[in-house]
Structure 1
Amino acid sequence: MTASNLRAPRLRRRSFLGGLGLGLGALCLPSLMPRGARAEPPGPVKRLLMLMTEHGTVYQNWRMRPGNLPEDTDWEAPLGALAEAEFSEILRPLHGFRDRLLVLDGVGMATGHMTGINEHEEGHATCLTGTLAQPVDGGVALAGGPSIDQIVAGVVAEPGQIASLQVSHGSWAYSFDAGGKALPWIEDPWQLYSKLFPNGPVDPNEPPDDLKTIRNRQSSVVSLVREQYHALAPKMSGEDKLKVEQHRDLLHSLGQQLENLANIVCEAPAEPDGGPPWEDPQFYFHRAQVFTTLTTLALSCDMTRVAVLAFSGLRNEHVSAPPGDLHNDYAHQASSDPTAMQVMTNYHKIHAEDFKNILAALDAVPGDNGTLLDDTLVVWGNELCTGEHSMNQWPIVMAGATHHFKTGRYVRWAQKNIIKGTWGDEPQGPPHNRLLVSIARAMGADIDQVGEASVTLKGDTQLPCTGELDRLT
């Protein structure tokens, strides 16, 4: 198609509807459709972005108890009215997004408490799969089935897209295929850039091709069709008139979206520079920024609809830690030793800043229902619940996806289920498998189980792990 094909002649009723692919079938005029054939228009594009970090959290400095709400009952509290100082120390960087957050406190990773192998391996294998970890002699445990990102990718990915992105600073796997095999990471900014833009940046002096010309004329075509709808509506009556008026108003919104989308650059940006060397403390932050920017670009340009970012690699100098090993000397002592507690609180505050930066990047891009953040479910999770390897009270923060979940809330579940584990019994809330089911169903997957169907409670009774998690909507 050439630019001359887009000149706008006078259009009859059927021809102007067809001009945008809005033929009578697409318009869905009720009186022109056979009885029983009416359907709702398709919903917004569904996207999932997960940020995974390590070492659980410092629960005492992550949790919030507005109004001193109790530990032993289920409750929820609105986040919108809370002042910044009322947010916990770790979650305080997210205060500016409080109306779009859903903080989940008390969900348990029961499947990570049952195999008796290294809890880090268990956590990585089960946190996004809900399966029991599969030990590997001389290697890192694998999963017993697919991770939630792969389940969702199987539903939302379109032909020609990248089914999912797995991007890491350097971590064990979180993403697993249907057979439980770990999927490889992209660990270098240039590698991610090359996957998204294999042909490199576009020459800015290159003349526009037909596709660019068409995109430049989209707004004027939408404006023409909207005017035709406006002229047609008074000539109709009843339900048909209402439907035409609704489509006229939708086209007005579409015209505004096209103006906003014109500001999105979906051509290859300049290649990322090498950044500072590993020894420089800014190495971590540079990579986090590049990964966030390129992943946001991939989602906004519909190159992919599913991504997992695994951020690790923080060092002592980042978190004001005295000499020592962050894992063994600080994470393992974070609930009992005051110095370790503050070190690991600083650690998780940096990851809260990472999460905030991801939300801000998505929120800066226009979307179908406001911004790209509104159209994307963003989940911040972990391979453990605490640095001491507990599997109860999994620290989960979700954001965006305002058409899926009721945000602006802090939701607490009491620890009423005593999970029977190899290392001892542990009180937990509802199993995290149900959260994974809720995520899958929100993304369009018609499933009722992710991972194990049940886990064993003290007394050898079974706790079901199927169905959606309550109180999310």
Structure 2
Amino acid sequence: MKPLSRRSVLQAGAGLALAGPRVARAQSSGAPKRLLLISHCHGWNAETWKLRPDGATDSDPFQLDLTTLPEADWSAGLAPLYRHRQHLVALDGLTLLTAESDGGGNRHDRGFIHAWTGNWADFSGSDSRSTSASIDQLVAAAIARPDRLPSLELSVDGPGEVGRPVSYAASGARLPVANTPEAAWTRLFGLSSSPDPLVLRQQDAIAAAVNELDILGARLGAHGQARLNSEARHLTGLSTRIAGLADLSCPIVPERVATPSAFDDRFDAMSDLIAAAFACDLTRVISLSLGELPTADFGGETIADDVHKGIAHGVFDDPAKGTAMANYLTTHTAQVARLVDLLAATPDPAGGSLLDHTLVVWGSELGNSWHGYQHYLPVLIGGSWAFQTGRYHHWPHTTPAPVTVHPSIHPDGEVPLGGLPHQKMLVSVAQAMGLSVDHVGIPHFQSRSGNLIDASGTLNGLT
């Protein structure tokens, strides 16, 4: 396989763009659908993110057509995505209500679990766990190729971090991440680029183990046999994936590079690998966890050298810190826009571009960096086969579930009404990816005020 540079991919994509989206979609009806989760930390600065048409208030439901909204009217936080406006579905009016109602742990860990699994957190052990699989794993179980990676978990870490949690197995355990481009490259292309003579022997060993399990299973009762059959299926699947990855032939392989020191460069290196993994159909589901940015990357170095405690917690108490965290988010928006550039410019082997057949779900573990859950503002990018894109949706907060807020928002430190349960977004994503489900995680729950809240169903107006 010949390595292909980012510049080559972008230049190839320039010609693709000239063909027009209708031609691309007509050529690619059989292309696989793909899911990319992106999770940044510390939530949003709602005031510099949200869009409000003239005269509209937070109490008014509305939709905006982003394809016709002048660039001058875009918020500072969303502005870097203006060039991709026709692919966006911006969601304004959700709250991490179940995280607010859950107990135990810290609000970051609780938020990560609820944001991506929609279910309760388990803090009874030494490590935080979920009580069900995350949305990426639900989708992977439904759409993965048996001879490829079911999913790929990546992270771009801040100083001292080792992958903030995004993906959870059905058992509730956090899935390990590849947190350097070198590790991700090896997982994707290592077997095919440097064939290992031990691979065949490993497959023989797996086949022998499966045979032994079959023999042993015949001597056991129904319960024991069922457990052994499960193990046999797992080993057979592993053997199939090893064979598939070893025999891979792919025209788009990024160069294997040493891990850059700068966060931006590591983000771009991971973006290259994401595009290549999708183009080669190595996996159809990827999660990308973004750790804390260095303060110098968003102009916060004059305030503190630590984002979390030095800046993030003080957004409501110090205007300079509020501005810094707004810049923090805008820096991430610019990074996400570059990744979408690459997906839009990379040809899909089935026709069109990767973006034509990819749904990007960008969210966070918090509503804001003060640890609030009130304004949860995720963005969907792509997924035009399921959603009417180029839209900004706002729903007023009318759910009778109290939400903790900073005293500057309400002197009681709490507001009585929250937004829509974010699980409805997860259900919308699951259905877009072909799952027949009416809830993801918790279907209904009791708020702190005693009201029964329905968290099932999809968000209205997306299709």
Does TM-score exceed 0.5, indicating one fold? yes
Q: Verify the 8 A CA contact 2:50 2:92 in the aligned structure 1.
A: yes
Superposed CA RMSD: 2.2
The alignment covers a number of residue pairs equal to 366
Question: What amino acid maps onto 2:367 in structure 1?
Answer: C
Is residue 40 of structure 2 the alignment partner of residue 66 of structure 1? no
In 1, Cα distance between the equivalents of 2:134 and 2:117? 4
Is residue 277 of structure 2 the alignment partner of residue 298 of structure 1? yes
Deviation track 1:380-416 (CA, whole Å, cap 9, x = no partner) reads: 1001011111112212111111111001110001000
The residue aligned with 2:179 is 187
The residue aligned with 1:444 is 434
Is residue 153 of structure 2 the alignment partner of residue 174 of structure 1? no
Match of 2:257 among 272, 290, 307: 272
Q: Verify the 8 A CA contact 1:46 1:375 in the aligned structure 2.
A: yes
Is residue 391 of structure 2 the alignment partner of residue 409 of structure 1? yes
Q: Verify the 8 A CA contact 2:164 2:291 in the aligned structure 1.
A: no
Residues 421 and 75 (structure 1), Cα distance of their counterparts in 2 relative to 1, 3 Å cut: closer
In 2, Cα distance between the equivalents of 1:178 and 1:315? 33
Question: What amino acid maps onto 2:420 in structure 1?
Answer: P
Q: Verify the 8 A CA contact 1:51 1:311 in the aligned structure 2.
A: yes
The residue aligned with 1:471 is 461
The residue aligned with 1:351 is 332
Q: Which has the larger radius of gyration?
A: 1
Q: Verify the 8 A CA contact 1:56 1:384 in the aligned structure 2.
A: yes
Shift of 1:346: 1.1
**Where does 1:334-345 land on structure 2 (aligned, <5 Å)?**
334-345=315-326
Residues 284 and 107 (structure 1), Cα distance of their counterparts in 2 relative to 1, 3 Å cut: same
Shift of 1:459: 4.3
Match of 1:384 among 366, 369, 375: 366
Question: What amino acid maps onto 2:166 in structure 1?
Answer: Y
Match of 1:288 among 262, 267, 282: 267
Q: Verify the 8 A CA contact 1:266 1:297 in the aligned structure 2.
A: no
Question: What amino acid maps onto 2:318 in structure 1?
Answer: D
Deviation track 1:138-182 (CA, whole Å, cap 9, x = no partner) reads: 44x211100000000011101111100110123321110112111
In 2, Cα distance between the equivalents of 1:455 and 1:147? 18
Deviation track 1:196-237 (CA, whole Å, cap 9, x = no partner) reads: 11146489xxxxxxxxxxxxxxxxxxxxxxxxxxxxxxxxxx
Gaps of 5+ in 2: 1-27, 158-162, 196-248, 405-412
Q: Verify the 8 A CA contact 1:116 1:421 in the aligned structure 2.
A: no
The residue aligned with 2:219 is none
In 1, Cα distance between the equivalents of 2:109 and 2:379? 22
In 2, Cα distance between the equivalents of 1:413 and 1:365? 35
Deviation track 1:339-367 (CA, whole Å, cap 9, x = no partner) reads: 01111111101100111011101000223
Is residue 120 of structure 2 the alignment partner of residue 120 of structure 1? no
Q: Verify the 8 A CA contact 1:418 1:458 in the aligned structure 2.
A: no
SS of the residue corresponding to residue 153 of structure 1 reads helix
The residue aligned with 2:352 is 370
Aligned identity (percent) is 31
Q: Verify the 8 A CA contact 2:292 2:307 in the aligned structure 1.
A: no
The residue aligned with 1:160 is 147
The residue aligned with 2:244 is none
TM-score, normalised to structure 2, is: 0.75
TM-score, normalised to structure 1, is: 0.73
In 1, Cα distance between the equivalents of 2:450 and 2:351? 47
SS of the residue corresponding to residue 381 of structure 1 reads strand
Question: What amino acid maps onto 2:122 in structure 1?
Answer: Q
